[in-house]
Homo-oligomer: A and B are copies of this chain.
Amino acid sequence: MTATRTFAFVLYPGLTPLDFVGPLQVLGALQEFGLGFEAVTVAADLEPLHTDIAVSVTASHTFAQVPEPFGLIVPGGGAPTFAALADEHLLGYVRRAAGTAELVGSVCTGSLVLGAAGLLEGREAVTHWAAMPMLRAFGATPVSRRWVADGPVRTAAGVAAGIDMALQLVAELVGEDACRMIQSAIEYDPRPPLGPIDWSGLDREPMESWLRSQVQQGLAADPELRARLLAP
């Protein structure tokens, strides 16, 4: 009998659903391979949580029900994710679960939650491009890549990058055939209508300015952390 290896996606109010739904769809498909992998969602309780789009999501398990996942993945978002940086109940679960997990991951600004939990100190990491300097507030070195692996810690860039990171995990944990099979099952054969992001032509200011407003809003009650994140 194979021991169960559980990926737990950490949910909290106000998050960006695409951050976790993409990788959950990928890692959830591992269940079919009979290798003992499963992917669940965990939250403080099993009530529906509002999100940053017009849908609510309900976790499959409470934090207490999944104390020692094999892999822990924290999705991100705007103001509510910054509020989560000061949520000791959430951070307590992330810290305890990370203590025994073999993989600790994040998508988008979820990496800042790992940072606030003290898990990025001295590590290389990535987050949404507009939040990159904020990683330094937690002792991390920002590295601009689609995903970054440093020891057990895997951080993915903004939102959609979680899909790429999850497929990479499948390739490493199970193999390239499994990765290709899941990629074709979700027909992940991207064709952005205007092509890839034109990084050199991108006007970064509007998104960076919006993100600063999200920090102000999410951390209104925590001037110290707010100042650290917004330090130039």
**A interface, CB within 8 angstroms of B:** 9, 11, 16-18, 20-22, 24-25, 28, 38-41, 48, 52-61, 108, 128-129, 146, 157-161, 163-164, 167-168, 171, 176, 179-181, 183-194, 196-198, 202, 206-207
Contact = CB atoms under 8 A, between A and B. Distances in A.
Given A25-B53, A41-B54, A159 B186 contact: yes
A61 B56 CA distance: 11
B197 A181 contact: no
How many protomers of this protein does the assembly include?
2
Task: Give the one of A54, A129, A188 with max B CB within 10 A.
Answer: A54
A221 B91 CA distance: 48
Nearest to A25: B18
A57 B60 contact: no
Contacts of A189: 146, 157, 160-161, 192, 196-197
A160 B188 contact: yes
A52 B54 CA distance: 19
Contacts of A57: 55-58
Contacts of A108: 187
B17 A21 contact: yes
Which 6 pairs between the two chains have the least Cβ-Cβ distance?
Answer: A158-B187, A190-B190, A54-B60, A56-B58, A159-B186, A189-B197
